[in-house]
Chain A
Amino acid sequence: DQQVKQNSPSLSVQEGRISILNCDYTNSMFDYFLWYKKYPAEGPTFLISISSIKDKNEDGRFTVFLNKSAKHLSLHIVPSQPGDSAVYFCALVVGFKTIFGAGTRLFVKA
């Protein structure tokens, strides 16, 4: 069963514009939500997280929004830069395991 869904396999955005990556989940028992970024030939690295008791968390150009009633999570990157081109995974923590979505490949065009 897919508890975490990232329905857009890829997204292309112009440099300087906003990138919005989306994630839907099915289990309302998740406590924490995280975003990871992955470059080719490297392991994923942590980007930003949000607790289930919040609806927004900001870190520089990155903001994560949580809509618990819709079971929806989104990551906003403003402004987008070419170096942001990577695969982005949303991840949810339940118990001793972190469950990842399939990822969205972001292309930021210069």
Chain B
Amino acid sequence: KAGVTQTPRYLIKTRGQQVTLSCSPISGHRSVSWYQQTPGQGLQFLFEYFSETQRNKGNFPGRFSGRQFSNSRSEMNVSTLELGDSALYLCASSLNAGSPGEKLFFGSGTQLSVL
């Protein structure tokens, strides 16, 4: 079974630009979550989607948005990039996030650098 695939692996952008990151979950998984990892901050929850609906959202500004398609693939978009948006963005999938004890399966992430 193929794992969670994130593209691209690396991205360099300049301030003010926008970026779209893509995530393909494990086949059969319907929940996709996005996290931002920065040094010393751990994994900060961005949002979670299930069956094309956003069920939960973290404390990030509206510049961060996402969506999920009918095949469970997900994209996240960051508009008007700021230097502080430089981070590793991780996508995780599960059958149904929130089921007791259900673990997440992570992709390798997209490393975004904003210059």
Contacts and interface: CB of A to CB of B under 8 A. Distances in A.
Contact of B106 (A34, A45, A51, A102): A45
B42 A100 contact: yes
Pick the most buried of A31, A41, A51, A102: most chain B CB atoms within 10 A of its CB.
A102
A32 interface: yes
A49 interface: yes
Given A46-B103, A100-B35, A95 B108 contact: no
B25 interface: no
Nearest to A100: B43
B32 to A, nearest CB: 11
Q: How large is the interface on A (under 10, 10 to 19, 20 to 34, 35 or more residues)?
A: 20 to 34
A96 B43 contact: no
A99 interface: yes
Given A43-B4, A46-B104, A97 B97 contact: yes
B42 A101 contact: yes
Contacts of B58: 97
B61 interface: no
Interface stretch (B14-22, B48-56, B71-79): B48-56
Contacts of A98: 33, 45, 92, 97, 104
B4 A97 contact: no
B84 interface: no
A49 B99 CA distance: 13
A43 B108 contact: yes
B90 interface: yes
B107 interface: yes
Given A43-B90, A95-B98, 4 more contacts: A43-B92, A96-B48, A99-B45, A101-B42
Leading 9 A-B pairs by shortest Cβ distance: A43-B106, A102-B42, A100-B43, A46-B103, A96-B98, A32-B101, A96-B55, A96-B56, A97-B56
